[in-house]
Amino acid sequence: MAVVDSTMHVPHPGRASAYLDWLQMLTGAGLILFMWSHMILVSSVLVGPRVMDALAWFFEYTYVAQVGGPLVAFVFLLHFALGARKIPFRTAEQRVVWAHSRTLRHRDTWLWLVQVVSAMVVLLLGSIHMWIVLTDLPITSVKSAARIQSGWLMPLYLVLLPMVELHVGIGFYRIGVKWGFIRRANRGIFRRRENLLTLFFILLGLATLLRFYFMDFH
């Protein structure tokens, strides 16, 4: 039976680390707002393809898509780079984290592990999604439906959707806990509401994917 060294050296964080934590929080909060807004805007296809096309045209006409798309991609990669500072990539570190998680049996520790795993999935699949969309502007409901109906992208989005919403939901919760907005007294209530919000966006995303999948654009 392997013995896990739980006395590994943990460096003392300095002022630079605190600044990086603030930047990580700000980029994370910005991406959370973007993802929720993005989901609501894309789901406008549920009202009608023309509604989505009108919104997409507005963002194209005002150059929000051309400027905002690359900016979001940059913030996305920056946020991952900042978060990677605390991700245990080495096998020895992963063993320590896993051993401590099983020993502590603390819900928030497991949530952090879920966030780390989901971050890896989102980094890979999210990068593919952004590349496909940003290299095929303008955005239209017909193009979106064609991509979903092409075959291989539907499974990609079925994995990406819950991973994004889990990562966003847990991230929102952990920001509140870390910076004192969520306290012991209101933690349970906030967690339940956040779970409902995450479930809402997953169901909204699934409904949107199905709308694209069955949309007749011929």
User: DSSP assignment of 33-87, as one string?
Assistant: HHHHHHHHHHGGGGT-HHHHHHHHHHHHHTTHHHHHHHHHHHHHHHHHHHHGGGS
Binding-site residues for heme b, in ranges, read 38, 79, 129, 167
If 0-12 CB within 10 Å is exposed, 13-18 middle and 19+ buried, where does residue 124 land? middle
CA dist 178 and 118 (Å) reads 19
| Token pair 């994995």: residue | 159
CA dist 169 and 197 (Å) reads 8
Q: Are 27 and 75 in contact (CB under 8 A)?
A: yes
DSSP state of 152: S
CA dist 18 and 20 (Å) reads 5
Axis crossing angle, helix 91-104 with helix 107-134, rounded to the nearest 10? 130
CA dist 25 and 148 (Å) reads 33
Instruction: Specify the amino acid at residue 175.
Output: I
Binding-site residues, in ranges, read 38, 79, 129, 167
